[in-house]
Structure 1
Amino acid sequence: MSTHRQRSVSARHRDDARRLAASVRSAVAGTGTRWLAVLLSVTLFAAPARAHGGPGITSGNVDTPTWLFLMTGGGVVAVSFLLTSFVTDRDLLESYHDRRVSIPGGAAIRRWGGPVGGVVGLLGLAGVVATGVFGPPEAARNFAVLLVWVVWWAGFTASTYLVGNSWPALDPFGRLAAPLSGDGAVSLPDWVGRWPAVAGLLLLVWLEVVTAVASNPTQLTVVVGAYIVATVAGSALLGHETWRKQIDPISGVFELYGRVAPIQRTDDGLELAAPGAALAETDADATTVASEIGFVIALLWVTTFDGFVATPGWQSIAAPVVRAGVPAELAYFGAMLGGYALFFGVYWGASKRVRISGKTYRSAPRIAAAFAPALVPIAAGYHFGHYFPYFLTQLPASIVVTLSPLSPPFAPPVLGLPGWISWVGPVAVLSGHLLAVWAAHARAFDLFTGRLQPIRSQYPYVVVMVLYTITGLWLLAQPTIDAPFI
C-alpha cells in the first residue's frame, strides 16, 4: 500500500473516530442520562419480583433462582459504570451538576412555607402526644402510630429525596427549642464532630427494632417526649445550630436525603436541579472528616439493618447466641455495632485502594470524604423499595383515623396491592445504585485530573457498590418475618 494510501486510510479512520466521538458526545449532551433510562427499562423487564416465601424469586410464571437475581442486579451496576466511563467531558459533567433553574414563586414559598409548615409540624406533634396517651391502644387504629410510621417515616421521608427537604420548615422539635436556644453555654471539642448524631441514629433504629415503639402508642409517646426534652435541653446548652448539625440524627438524615432531590433550597428561594446534583457540592458546615463519613455510613447501614433483622437469615445467626444466654436485645445491639463497623471498614478500605488504582497521593480520608455523599442514593433507593408498599397499604387507614383520631373505626381500611408492586423494590434499589455510580463518577472528575485517573479511581468503589447492590436485593428477596426473640 502506498504511503499516500496509508495516510488517506488513517485520515479516514481518524475522521470516523472523531465523528463517532462527536455523535456520542452529542447524544449524551442531548439526552443527559438516556443510558440510565435504558438500564432501568432493562432492569424492569429482567428483575424478578420479591419473594414472599421459598428459596427463589418468582416473577409471573417463571421462577428465577435467587443467585441469578442477585448477580443480574450486580451486573447492572457494573455495566452502568462502564457506560458512565464514556462520559469524560468535564463541561458536560459540570453542567449536569451546576445548572440550576429558579422556581417561580420560590421566594414566596420559602417565606410562607416556614410559618405554615411550623404550624402543621406542631399540630402533628401535639396530635401524636395526645393520641399516644388517650387514643386506642391498637396500632392499626392509633393516630400517633400511623402518623409517625406511615405518614412521616415512610411517606414524608420519601418526599425528602424525591421532591425536596421540607423538614426545616416542619421541624416541631426545633421550634419548641428555639425560644430557649442561644449561643450555647457549653462548647464541644472539635474531635467530637458528628459522632453523637451517628450514635443517636444507631440508637433510634435499635430501639425501633427491639422495643414495641412501632406498635405501642404508649412507648412511642415516651420516645417522642424524650426526644422533645433532649432537643430543648441540648439546644439550650449547646446552641441550636450545634444541636442540629452535630447531635440531631433526624435533621441529619433529612439533610442528606434532601441532597438527592431535584428541588433545592437557597437563600433567595427554590431551585430545580438534576437529581443527585447537590451530592457533588462540598459541605461548608462539615465537622470532622471521619464523623461526616461515619454519618453517611450510618444512614446506609440502618436501612440495611432494619431489613436484615426481619429475615430468616438473621434468625439462624441469632438463635445460638440467644440460646447461649445472651439477652436478645444485647444480640441486636451487637449486630447493630458489628454491622456498622463492617460497613465503615469496607468503605474505608476501598478508599485506601483508590490511592493505588487511581495512582494518587491524595490521602485516604480526603478521598473517602469526597465520595461518601455518593452513597446516599443507595440508602434512598432501599428506603423507597422497603417502605413504599407499606405506605400504600396503610395510607387509607391513616386518612380514616386522622378524620376521627380519638374514636376511629374498629377496622380501618387497608389497600390491597397488585402483584406488579413487588417490582418496586428491586427497581428502586437498582435506581439508587445507578444514581450513586453517576454521583461517584462526577466526584472523581472533580477530584482527579485527566481522563483515565478519575475512571481508575472508581474501581474499588464499584466493587463496593456491587456488593451493596447484592446485599440490598438479597434482603428484598427474603421472606419477611417478625424480628425474632424479642
Structure 2
Amino acid sequence: MQFLAWVALLLFFVDTVAAGNGLTLSKQSRDTLAVPQWLYLATGGATIGASALLASFVTDRAFIQDLHSWSQTLPTVERGWDSLAWIGRSLGVAALVLSIFLGFTGPQLPTASLTILLTFAGVRAGLPIATYFVGNVWPALNPWQTIASILPSGFREYPHALQRWPAVGGLLVLVLVEVIFPVSAVPSILAMAILIYSTITIAGALLFGPESWFDNADPLSVLFRLYGAVAPIQRENGTLQVKLPGSDLRNADLVTDVSDVAFIIALIWELTYSGFITTSAGATTIETLVGITSLGIVNVETRAILVYTLLFVCGYAVFLGAYWYAGRLSRRRSGTYITARTIAFQFSPPLLAIAAGYHFAHYAGLFVSLSPALMMALTSPLSPPANPLILSPPSWFEGLGIASVLIGHLFAIWAAHAVAYDLFSSRLVAVRSQYPFIAVMIGYTVISLWIISLPGAIPPYLS
C-alpha cells in the first residue's frame, strides 16, 4: 500500500519535478587522487581479500564465540527513564510539526530552512551516524509512532505475507523522491513530501496497529533498527550492554525473510547510486543515456527522470541478484544440506557494517558542514539567520571516508566469519562457504572506493 501510494504520487507529479534535484546538499568537492586510480582500487580490494584470508586462519570456535559474546552491563537508570522517553517523543512531534509548518511559511533558502537542515543534516546524516556508533534511539523520537500510539488503532491484522516488503518499497521510493524532487533545495516541496509521508504512515499505523506497522512497513523504523544492530551499545532485557561493534550481526533472528535481505541490499545500493549520480562519471552516463534514448518522449526532463529511475531499478536488481547468486554458489561449494535461502539469510546481516561504512563516507562531511546552520535554526526556528555558518570539511575528511568504507568491510568479513562457524559444523566448509560472499564484498568495496575517487558533479537535467 505504501509503495503503491508513493509510486502513484511520483508518476502524478513527474512533469512538475524536473526543476530541481534533491542531492545538492550532499555533494562535497574532492581532490584529485595522488596515486593512480587502478592502484588505489586494487589496494582496497586486496585489503578486503587479505583480511578474509587472515580471518580464515582463526578456526578456534571457542575464541570466536567468546569474542562475539563479550559484553559489559552499563549501570541502569530506571528513575526518570519514562520521563526521558516522553521528552524525546515530545521533541520528535514538535520537530515534525515545525518542519511542516516552516517548510511552507519559513525562509526558502536551503541552508537557512529548519525543514531541510533537520531532514538532511539531522535525520539523513546525523541520526544514522549516531545509531550505528551508539545505538538506536529512533523509537524514542519517532513522531508518527507517538501520534499513532494515542489514537485508536489495530482495525485490521497486518498481512503476514507482506513481511518487510512495504518498507523495501518505501525506502526505494524515498530515494527516488530525493533524486527527482528538489526536496533539498525547496523547503515547501520537502514539507509537502513530509506531509504525504506522515499521512501514509499514520494511516497505516492506525489501520494495522503501531507495533505491526513500525516493525514491518515503515522504512525509517526498519532502517534505524538494522543500523542499530551495528552499534556497540545494545538494549537487552531492560539493560544496556556494551559489546564489540558488529557483534549482533551474527544474530540469526535479525533476518528472517527475503524482504529483510532485500532491505539490506537496498541500503547498500541507494548509497552507491546516490554517490554515483553526483559524480562526473555519473553525470556523463545520464547525459549519454538520455541522448541515445528517445522512448518516443520529446520532453528531455521527463526522459531524464525515466533514465534515472531505470538506472536505479536495474542497478538494484544487479546488486540483489549478485548477492542471491553468491548464496547459491556458497551452497554448491560447501556441499551442505543447508538451503541457499538459509545461507543468504545468515550472511546478510554482516552487510549492514558495509552499509554503515558507506553512509559515513557519504554523509559525515555533510553533517559537519551543516551542523552550525542546524544549531542556529534549532535555537531560532522562526527567525533563522539569513547567512548561516557553513563549514568546509578539512582535506583529511576524504581519507576518513575511504577508511570508513574499508573498516565497514573488515567488520563485515569478521562477522561473516563468525556466522559461518555458527552455521556449519566443519571448519573447512565454514571457510569455503564464505568465498562467494567475500567476492561480492570485494566488488562492493571497489565500486564504492571508485565512486569516492571521482570528481563531484551536479546531476544533469534535474537542477
TM-score between both structures, scaled by the size of structure 2: 0.89
Aligned to 1:330: 306
Can you list the C-alpha shifts for 1:357-410, whole angstroms capped at 9, x where unaligned?
Answer: 222121110000010101001110010011111111111111122222222222
* Alpha-carbon distance between aligned partners in 2 of 1:268 and 1:148, rounded to the nearest angstrom: 30
Secondary structure of the structure 2 residue equivalent to 1:184? coil
1:247-270: CA deviations, max 9, x gaps?
A: 100001101100000111123121
Larger radius of gyration: 1
Instruction: Report the Cα offset of residue 130 of structure 1.
Output: 2.0
**Residues 377 and 433, structure 1, Cα contact 8 Å, conserved in 2:** yes
Q: Count matched residues.
A: 427
Contact 2:158 2:213 in 1 (8 A): no
Q: Give a deviation string over 1:411-444, Cα, whole Å, max 9, x none.
A: 1111233221221110000010000001100100
**Equivalent in the alignment of 2:87:** 116
Match of 1:174? 145
Instruction: Give me the whole-angstrom Cα distance separating, in 2, the residues matched to 1:116 and 1:358.
Output: 52
- Tell me, what secondary structure is at the counterpart of 1:226? helix
Corresponding position: 1:398 with 2:366: no
Native 8 Å contact 2:283 2:458 kept in 1: no
Give the Cα–Cα distance (whole angstroms) in 2 for the partners of residues 81 and 106 of structure 1.
40
Q: Pick closer, same or farther for the CA change 1:445–1:117 going to 2, 3 Å.
A: same
Residue 30 of structure 1 is matched in structure 2 by none
Structure 1 equivalent of residue 14 of structure 2 = none
Q: 1:439 corresponds to which residue? A: 415
1:131-188 CA-to-partner distances (Å, cap 9, x unmatched) read: 1122101101111111111122111110000110000111111111112353332542
In the TM superposition, what is the alpha-carbon distance from 1:96 to its structure 2 partner? 1.9
SS state at 2:241 partner: strand
CA gap of 1:421–1:266, structure 2 versus 1, over 3 A, is: same
Tell me which residue corresponds to 2:329: 353
Q: 1:344 to 1:476 in 2, by over 3 A?
A: same
* 2:78 pairs with 1:132: no
Q: Does 1:294 align with 2:262?
A: yes
Moved more, 154-163 or 110-119: 110-119
Q: 1 CA distance for matches of 2:414 and 2:240? A: 24
Which residue of 379, 387, 391 corresponds with 1:415? 391
1:8-407 alignment runs, 5 A limit = 52=30, 57=33, 63-108=34-79, 110-180=81-151, 182-188=153-159, 190-283=160-253, 289-323=257-291, 324-326=293-295, 327-407=303-383
* Whole-Å separation in 1 of the counterparts to 2:211 and 2:408: 30
CA distance in 2, matches of 1:387, 1:484: 21
Verify the 8 A CA contact 1:184 1:235 in the aligned structure 2: no
Q: Is the 8 A contact 1:167 1:251 kept in 2?
A: yes
Give runs of ≥4 in structure 1 deviating > 3 Å: 106-113, 181-184
Conserved? CA contact 1:176–1:232, under 8 Å: yes
Q: Which runs of no fewer than 5 residues in structure 2 stay unpaired?
A: 1-27, 296-302
Among the aligned pairs, what percent are the same residue?
A: 39
Structure 1 residues 344 and 108: CA distance shift in structure 2, 3 A: farther
Q: Which has the higher contact order (CA 8 A, sep 6+)?
A: 2
Contact 2:283-2:457 within 8 A present in 1 as well: no
Deviation at 1:106, TM superposition (A): 4.5
The letter of the residue matching 2:203 is A
Contact 2:267–2:355 (CA under 8 A) maintained in structure 1: yes
Partner Cα separation in structure 2 for residue 279 and residue 117 of structure 1: 27
Residue 373 of structure 1 aligns to a residue in which SS? coil
Deviation at 1:331, TM superposition (A): 1.2
Call closer, same or farther: CA 1:331–1:194 in 2, change over 3 Å: same
Asked whether the equivalents of residues 115 and 187 of structure 2 are also in contact (C-alpha less than 8 Å), the reply is: yes
SS at match of 2:350: helix
Cα RMSD (Å):
1.7
- TM-score normalised according to structure 1 size: 0.85
Mark the CA change 1:392 to 1:51 in structure 2 (over 3 Å): closer, same or farther. Answer: closer
Cα deviation, residue 51, structure 1: 7.6
What's the offset of the Cα at 1:110?
4.7
3-state SS in 2 of match to 1:271? strand
Partner amino acid for 1:197? A
The answer to whether the 8 A contact 1:180-1:235 is kept is no
Q: Secondary structure at the match of 2:244?
A: coil
Q: How far is 1:109 from its partner?
A: 7.0
Report the Cα distance in structure 2 between the residues aligned to 1:199 and 1:414, rounded to whole angstroms: 34
For residues 239 and 282 of structure 1, the distance between their equivalents in structure 2, rounded to whole angstroms, comes to 26
The letter for the 2-side match of 1:436 is: A
Question: Secondary structure at 1:265's aligned position in 2?
Answer: strand
Report deviation, 1:317: 2.3
Is the 1:262–1:272 Cα contact (8 Å) retained in structure 2?
yes
Distance 1:456 1:110, change over 3 A: farther
- What is the Cα deviation at residue 123 of structure 1? 1.7
